[in-house]
Amino acid sequence: MATSSESLNLIVVCLDTFRADLVGEDEEFGFVKTPHLDSFAENAVCFTRAFGEGQPTLQMRRAFFTGKRSFPWRFNFDRRGHWHHAPGWHKIPPDQDTLAEVLLQRGYMTGLVADTYHMFKPTMNYTRGFVNYEFVRGQESDNWRGGTLGQVEEQLNRHVRHPSHASPVLIQYLLNMKDRKAEEDYLCARVFGSASQWLKENHENGPFFLWVDSFDPHEPWDPPPNYAEMYSPGYQGLDFIMPGTAYAGGDPSGAELERIKALYFGEATLVDRWVGRLFETLETLHLWEKSIVMVTCDHGTQILDQGRFGKGADELHPFNTRILWMVWHPESEKGQKIHALVQSHDFMPTALHLLGMEYAAADGENVWGLVTGERDRIREYAITGWAGWADGSARGRASVRDDRWNYCVGTGYPDDEPELFDLEADPKEIRNVASENPEIVTCQRERLEALLGRPVSAPMTEIDDRAAPPPMAAYIQARESRRQKESTS
């Protein structure tokens, strides 16, 4: 018997820095062990060309939650106390409804379980509309636990060549993890364990909406040793869980680079295992046939793609900008792959449509017509902005992607070296052919300027108020300054 759309639950799993090409045997990193997500993909609708509209972290979640574009950057909310101040790193504007708020008004129980700590920092409001929420503490530079350097010296010696190479972020993270004993203590295990508990306690409060947000596999890439061992058996060297530290004190060896890749793959496998625990809870509680389940991510990362680790505005290629978007619906055909271009701000209006609600205030569109065959495309091109700085000011870069071309250019300043990639001749987007195709460059730039409402090089309307460093970094700097003054007095 068909289930009424308005009685279906909605469960969303959002993973941070999880490359879309980890899931599926036909993907580049399909060899990475993600059996639970692979199985989910085989039974879900998968959008194979889903891209972020404004990246990275907070910008993406704002578009997911509101259906509104984050890019172009245009807001100047107070961010004091939030020490990541790239364009778009701010709260949800007061006049924008969130998915949780809309569903709450329709009588949904709403819950959030997350360790993506940027969502909970001072001046942020990403808990809007959630009846209850749990903030799992300890990721990256979350200023949670204190202690002395001596308390984490043993761990530090496994992750850097010399203590002076340790960043404040790494020190804070190790302090946060100093009492970790078993796999169940790892952060993604705590997130998905808490989400499973939320379901057990609230599944009878239907319909419900649960958003589960895992910061893993974002750096530090720090899985239990046996997970990295799957991909680099017998390795005996240092584990550079913050990839950038591998280059301090000399270039890393080939074995060290392969180990860094193994750490990321191992963390992806760890995340998959605990996503699987959540899926098991859905099975135990008989929720699959009563729920829409979506799995997504905010962006990817480079795993020595084009010779480096990391992510950022200077590399607007699918390894960074493509996202997962997989949708389980109890009445949809399983295993469908949709190849039309879709984006992150389509997420909210699509979710509401599947729940029997239409929402006109979104910039994105309901894309489910691609699944039912009512539409063959939503848009001719996708525009992605990535927050960043250039020459000390709040700027960034943008990508204009269509079926044939990817055009990448700096925004907010004159960029004399825009990039254009021919996706047919160069699917890995390595050779810049901008100078050979001026008419395509002009077309793509005009598409971008139509969204911006101004020339690409015009200054950004969002002011860069550059944040103070993370508190641990500020403490270390101030301590060293004090010691120097004392030694010279």
- Do 196 and 332 lie in a common domain? yes
Contact indicator for 411, 456 with CB cutoff of 8 Å: yes
Query: Is the confidence at residue 391, as pLDDT, over 70?
Result: no
- Do 219 and 290 lie in a common domain? yes
Question: HEC states along 214-251?
Answer: ECCCCCCCCCCHHHHHCCCCCCCCCCCCCHHHHHCCCC
- Do 172 and 42 lie in a common domain? yes
Residue 427: exposure state from Cβ atoms within 10 A (0-12, 13-18, ≥19): exposed
Q: Say which residues have a Cβ less than 8 Å from residue 61's Cβ, sequence separation at least 6.
A: 14, 116, 119, 126, 213, 298
Query: Is the confidence at residue 469, as pLDDT, over 80?
Result: no
Judge whether 285 lies within some domain: yes
pLDDT number for residue 393: 55
The SS3 call for residue 443 is helix
Question: Of residues 2 and 466, which shows the higher confidence score?
Answer: 466
Judge whether 317 lies within some domain: yes
Task: Pick left, alpha or beta for residue 99 (phi over 0 → left; psi -120 to 50 → alpha; otherwise beta).
Answer: alpha
Judge whether 118 lies within some domain: yes
Among 323, 343, 372, give the residue marking a domain's end.
372
pLDDT number for residue 1: 33
Q: What percent of the chain has pLDDT over 70?
A: 96
Judge whether 153 lies within some domain: yes
Stretch 286-299: mean pLDDT, rounded? 98
Contact indicator for 12, 210 with CB cutoff of 8 Å: yes
Judge whether 482 lies within some domain: no
For 133-188, write each residue's pLDDT tens digit: 999 999 999 999 999 999 999 999 999 999 999 999 999 999 999 999 999 999 99
Residue 465: exposure state from Cβ atoms within 10 A (0-12, 13-18, ≥19): exposed
| Residue 281: both structure tokens together | 């809870």
DSSP state of 453: T
- Closest by CA to 22, choosing from 444, 319, 350, 274, is 319
Which domain CATH number covers 390? Answer: 3.30.1120.10
For 99-121, write each residue's pLDDT tens digit: 999 999 999 999 999 999 999 99
- Do 192 and 69 lie in a common domain? yes
Judge whether 486 lies within some domain: no
The SS3 call for residue 337 is strand
Judge whether 462 lies within some domain: no
Cα 380-383-384 angle, rounded to 5 deg: 145
Cα 60-63-66 angle, rounded to 5 deg: 145
Q: What percent of the chain has pLDDT over 90?
A: 85
Question: Of residues 115 and 359, which shows the higher confidence score?
Answer: 115
| Cα dihedral across residues 156, 145, 151, 165: positive or negative | positive
pLDDT grade, residue 461 (50/70/90)? confident
Q: Which residue type occupies 415?
A: D
Task: Pick left, alpha or beta for residue 463 (phi over 0 → left; psi -120 to 50 → alpha; otherwise beta).
Answer: beta
Question: Which strand (E) or helix (H) includes residue 261?
Answer: helix 254-284
Distance of alpha carbon 64 from alpha carbon 210, whole angstroms: 14
How many separate domains does the chain show? Answer: 2
- Do 191 and 269 lie in a common domain? yes
The SS3 call for residue 184 is helix
Cα 244-247-251 angle, rounded to 5 deg: 150
The SS3 call for residue 36 is helix
Among 372, 400, 419, give the residue marking a domain's end.
372
Distance of alpha carbon 278 from alpha carbon 461, whole angstroms: 42
- Do 255 and 355 lie in a common domain? yes
pLDDT grade, residue 217 (50/70/90)? very high
pLDDT number for residue 358: 87
- Do 283 and 389 lie in a common domain? no
Query: Is the confidence at residue 308, as pLDDT, over 70?
Result: yes
Q: Which residue type occupies 473?
A: A
Stretch 424-435: mean pLDDT, rounded? 97
- Cis bond upstream, residue 455 (ω within 30): no
Q: Say which residues have a Cβ less than 8 Å from residue 477's Cβ, sequence separation at least 6.
A: 469
Question: Could you tell me where the DSSP H helices lie in 328-384?
Answer: 347-354, 369-372
Beta partners for residue 51, in sequence order: 322, 343
- Do 386 and 368 lie in a common domain? no
Which domain CATH number covers 197? Answer: 3.40.720.10
- Phi and psi, residue 176, nearest 5°: -60, -30
Please state, in angstroms and as integers, the Cα–Cα distance from residue 261 to each residue in 49, 215, 237, 267, 391, following that order: 24, 18, 14, 10, 31
Beta partners for residue 288, in sequence order: none
For 64-113, write each residue's pLDDT tens digit: 999 999 999 999 888 888 877 788 999 999 999 999 999 999 999 999 99
Among 309, 343, 372, give the residue marking a domain's end.
372
- Do 286 and 390 lie in a common domain? no
Average pLDDT, the chain: 94
- Do 387 and 286 lie in a common domain? no
Question: Of residues 396 and 193, which shows the higher confidence score?
Answer: 193
| Residue 227: both structure tokens together | 């997970």
Judge whether 481 lies within some domain: no
pLDDT number for residue 473: 84
Question: Which strand (E) or helix (H) includes residue 63?
Answer: helix 57-66
pLDDT number for residue 387: 87
- Do 97 and 178 lie in a common domain? yes
- Do 220 and 332 lie in a common domain? yes
**Helix-, strand-, coil-residue percentages of the chain, each rounded to 5:** 35, 15, 50
User: What range defines the domain where residue 428 resides?
Assistant: 382-452
Contact indicator for 135, 194 with CB cutoff of 8 Å: no
For 444-459, write each residue's pLDDT tens digit: 999 999 999 999 999 8
pLDDT number for residue 2: 45
